[in-house]
């Protein structure tokens, strides 16, 4: 049996960062992952350049059953702190859109930084290595079965991520550990994911696949209404792009989304003005406000609109404008975990300390990163949660008394 102060399961963003910090705080750390490579989600994110944080990250950019849970960790280790670490390692980066920060060269720079931090902390890393049973030890520590032998650890950190993108190794292992030790789970579903629509109903728009435009998108009503101003992308099966990925975290099955396809325009006024002075086709006038392919698709469905605009009924033009600026439709589903960037839901935050990430009724067991019911918006927020929760956990680990676990008699 090999003994460590802490065993961290999962070598993704949260696990790597927590391991490096904990090791540099003087702990003997083992980092374990069933995959051969570390941090595959970092590697593929941001088109290979990793949107590693958002300069403007606040608790308001996160959702979950208890959206205030993330406040403590974010306040103690925020985006400025992680940016300072990136700068200390000399990694060039740039701001692309709305505070989103990307590596100039490659996500490999960021992965190299995290590995260097682990190296500085003397972290032991076993990969690939699968964890089997986890058992409580007599003095409050844990014994873990692995395919590299039995492990004794004073504490266990679960940083196994969610269910999104199974092709890079996502599993439900972290949720099963939580259930084994009596922690509750909230409903899990794909988030930051494209939305799909009924095949026949979507047929008039399938030909628009590849078309992108800025829109305002919203879902919900009254206090539950959420809206974003982002780019929309038409696909063969439905809608994607930043606008839809953002709203997908708030959309619930069976509810509608609403789109303003020209949020900077008063389409009704523009069309009625054109009716008074122009003899061009309605589609041609509309193409001054929207992409031409979109204008053609919308006017092709109504014979009253397939004529010069001065001959089109004013009522038909007003209805067209209303539909374009309040297009309401009900998705039939999502592209699922294979296309989802993150998983919404997870380990119930009511069963965790927001200060330490430790399970409230299971001493020495911690959960960090995506496995927890904290989901960020699109734009670097989920990586920031990985850094913040990992840092809070590492600080708590360093503050707890060390113990050499003893196996429980079978």
The reported pLDDT for the residue numbered 410 is 43
What is the pLDDT confidence band of residue 33, given thresholds at 50, 70 and 90? very high
Q: pLDDT tens digits, residue range 173-221?
A: 999 999 999 999 999 999 999 999 988 889 989 999 999 999 999 999 9
Q: pLDDT tens digits, residue range 371-396?
A: 999 999 999 999 999 999 999 999 99
Share above pLDDT 70 across residues of the chain, in percent, rounded to a whole number:
98
The reported pLDDT for the residue numbered 178 is 98
Q: Is the pLDDT of residue 407 over 60?
A: no
Whole-number mean pLDDT of the chain?
Answer: 95
Q: Which two tokens stand for residue 168?
A: 């890079």
Structural domains of the chain, ranges and CATH numbers in brackets: 2-189+340-399 (3.50.50.60), 194-335 (2.40.30.10)
Report d(CA 142, CA 43) in Å as an integer. 32
Report d(CA 388, CA 199) in Å as an integer. 42
Share above pLDDT 90 across residues of the chain, in percent, rounded to a whole number:
93
pTM: predicted TM-score of the whole model, two decimal places: 0.94
Q: Is the pLDDT of residue 404 over 70?
A: no
The reported pLDDT for the residue numbered 223 is 87
Report d(CA 357, CA 156) in Å as an integer. 11
Q: pLDDT tens digits, residue range 212-268?
A: 999 999 999 998 899 999 999 999 999 999 999 999 999 999 999 999 999 999 999
What CA–CA distances, in Å, run from 152 to 15, 155, 261, 314? 18, 9, 58, 77
The reported pLDDT for the residue numbered 359 is 98
The reported pLDDT for the residue numbered 403 is 61
Q: Is the pLDDT of residue 65 over 60?
A: yes
What is the pLDDT confidence band of residue 409, given thresholds at 50, 70 and 90? very low
């Amino acid at each position: 049996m090999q003994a460590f102060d802490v065993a961290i399961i999962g070598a993704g963003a949260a696990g790597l960062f927590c391991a490096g910090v904990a090791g540099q705080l003087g702990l003997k750390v083992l980092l374990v992952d069933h995959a051969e490579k570390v941090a595959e989600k970092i590697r593929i994110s941001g088109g290979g350049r990793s949107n590693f944080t958002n300069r403007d990250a606040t608790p308001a950019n996160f959702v979950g059953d208890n959206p205030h849970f993330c406040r403590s960790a974010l306040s103690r280790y925020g985006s400025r702190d992680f940016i300072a670490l990136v700068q200390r390692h000399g990694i060039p980066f740039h701001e692309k859109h709305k505070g989103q920060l990307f590596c100039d060269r490659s996500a490999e720079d960021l992965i190299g930084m995290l590995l260097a931090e682990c190296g500085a902390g003397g972290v032991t890393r076993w990969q690939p290595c699968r964890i089997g049973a986890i058992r409580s030890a007599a003095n409050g520590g844990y014994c873990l079965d692995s395919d590299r032998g039995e492990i004794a650890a004073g504490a266990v950190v679960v940083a196994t991520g969610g269910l999104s993108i199974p092709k890079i190794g996502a599993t439900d292992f972290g949720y099963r550990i939580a259930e084994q030790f009596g922690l509750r789970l909230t409903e899990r579903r794909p988030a930051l994911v494209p939305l799909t629509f009924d095949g026949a109903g979507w047929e008039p728009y399938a030909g628009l696949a590849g078309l992108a435009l800025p829109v305002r998108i919203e879902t919900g009503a009254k206090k539950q209404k959420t809206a974003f101003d982002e780019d929309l992308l038409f696909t063969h099966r439905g809608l994607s792009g930043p606008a839809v990925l953002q709203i997908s975290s708030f959309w619930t099955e069976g509810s509608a989304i609403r789109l303003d396809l020209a949020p900077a325009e008063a389409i009704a006024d523009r069309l009625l003005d054109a009716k008074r002075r122009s003899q061009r086709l309605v589609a041609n006038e509309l193409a001054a406000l929207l992409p031409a392919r979109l204008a053609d698709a919308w006017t092709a469905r109504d014979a009253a609109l397939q004529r010069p605009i001065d001959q089109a009924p004013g009522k038909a033009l007003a209805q067209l404008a209303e539909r374009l600026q309040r297009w309401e439709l009900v998705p039939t589903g999502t592209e699922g975990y294979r296309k989802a960037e993150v998983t919404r839901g997870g380990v119930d935050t009511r069963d965790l300390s927001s200060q330490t990430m430790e399970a409230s009724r299971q001493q020495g067991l911690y959960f960090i990163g995506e496995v927890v019911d904290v989901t960020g918006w699109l734009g670097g927020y989920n990586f920031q949660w990985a850094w913040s929760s990992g840092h809070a956990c590492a600080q708590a680990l360093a503050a707890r008394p060390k113990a050499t676990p003893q196996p429980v008699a079978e």
